[in-house]
């Protein structure tokens, strides 16, 4: 990356850190230091923004001969927003997550010095770089199904001075050759928790993954048992590719449009799609007075897994599809 960007990028990073802090994240000084140090623009040398016309996207890139467009690219790289990084046939394939959401996820992982972390979904490599800065590159493994994405992440990481293990493979199967792990974090949405992840964890490990439109944080007891609740924040990620089970589609028959468009109801209806019809979900939603995400959880036990409200053995529980 040309030196011409360094000074402005440093200013933009400081502004981004202040913005993330204003949202209540980066309370841990170690993560604040990581976001203040790791140059995000090296991981998004180009990205796409919505645009009218064929394809629906406009490409911004670091080498644009137009200085105005180069400035748009650099400033956009440090906005607290998600960035579309790969588009194929008009469809989003990969994206760089919103930094403030990444900060919340990384802090929720509660990592300690010496922990080994597996990331599912390499993306641009930026999240892996933050982990490397915090833990050291030998403790970080990231895997992606797409060799092109993995190689791009590897290149970006090297440009920023980091060389963790970047591997190509089906994220649903984890990465057994580098196991065991103390933490597993997914940056792609899953319909349920792959059992292979639990099998590759040390006892008392944590697994954080986007599920439905939320983030489930599981504590692992052993290879067959894990349990945890959802974080309060909403989260929308590109779906995990590989595996075998598609995400369940919420059934909305009998649900008023204004209710379905409520973000909290959509979370419930998607999470419980395998067990609730639209009217049943609506009845539960109203009876429980719009339950917050953190009242919901997931249990994995004895070869099955289910989502629940308030109590894993309570009245409200729904099976999750298996990968």
Give the burial class of 251: count Cβ atoms within 10 A of its Cβ; 0-12 exposed, 13-18 middle, 19 or more buried.
middle
pLDDT value at position 51?
A: 80
Cβ atoms of 177 and 155 within 8 Å: the answer is no
pLDDT value at position 242?
A: 65
Residue 239 is given by DSSP the state: B
All domains in the chain, ordered by first residue = 3-230 (3.40.50.150), 257-319 (no CATH)
pLDDT in tens, 149-178: 999 999 999 999 999 999 999 999 999 999
Q: What is the phi-psi region of residue 16: left when phi exceeds 0, alpha when psi lies from -120 to 50, beta otherwise?
A: alpha
Strands 225-230 vs 296-301: parallel, antiparallel or unpaired: antiparallel
Strand partners, 165: 141
pLDDT value at position 301?
A: 95
Residues of the chain with pLDDT under 70: 1-3, 53-55, 242-253
**Residue 5 three-state SS:** helix
Tell me the C-alpha distance between 248 and 277, whole Å.
Answer: 12
Choose the catalytic residue: 52, 94, 97, 122: 94
The residue behind tokens 């590109």 is: 238
Tell me the C-alpha distance between 159 and 247, whole Å.
Answer: 36
Active site residue 234: no
For residue 41, whether the previous peptide bond is cis, meaning omega lies within 30 degrees of 0, is no
């Amino acid at each position: 990356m040309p030196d011409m960007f360094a000074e402005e990028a440093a200013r933009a990073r400081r502004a981004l850190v202040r913005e993330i802090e204003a949202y209540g994240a980066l309370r841990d000084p170690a993560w604040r230091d990581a976001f203040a140090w790791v140059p995000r623009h090296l991981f998004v040398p180009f990205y796409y923004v919505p645009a009218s016309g064929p394809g629906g996207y406009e490409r911004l890139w670091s080498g644009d001969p137009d200085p105005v467009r180069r400035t748009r690219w650099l400033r956009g790289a440090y906005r607290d927003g998600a960035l579309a990084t790969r588009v194929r046939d008009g469809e989003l394939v990969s994206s760089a997550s919103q930094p403030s959401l990444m900060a919340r996820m990384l802090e929720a992982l509660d990592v300690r010095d010496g922990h080994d972390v597996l990331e599912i979904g390499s993306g641009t490599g930026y999240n892996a770089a933050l982990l490397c800065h915090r833990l050291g590159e030998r403790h970080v493994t990231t895997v992606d199904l797409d060799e092109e994405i993995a190689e791009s992440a590897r290149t970006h990481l090297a440009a920023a001075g980091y060389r963790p293990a970047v591997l190509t493979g089906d994220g649903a199967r984890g990465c057994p050759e580098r196991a065991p792990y103390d933490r597993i974090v997914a940056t792609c949405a899953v319909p349920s928790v792959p059992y292979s992840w639990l099998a590759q964890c040390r006892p008392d490990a944590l697994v954080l993954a986007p599920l439905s439109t939320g983030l489930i944080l599981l504590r692992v007891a052993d290879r067959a048992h894990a349990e945890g609740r959802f974080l309060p924040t909403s989260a929308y990620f590109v779906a995990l590719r590989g595996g075998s089970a598609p995400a369940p589609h919420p059934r909305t028959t009998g649900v008023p449009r204004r209710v379905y468009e409520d973000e909290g109801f959509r979370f419930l209806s998607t999470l419980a799609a395998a067990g609730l019809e639209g009217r049943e979900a609506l009845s539960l939603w109203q009876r429980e007075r719009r339950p917050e995400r953190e009242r919901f959880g997931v249990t994995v036990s004895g070869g099955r897994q289910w989502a629940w409200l308030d109590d894993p053995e309570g009245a409200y529980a729904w099976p999750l599809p298996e990968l």
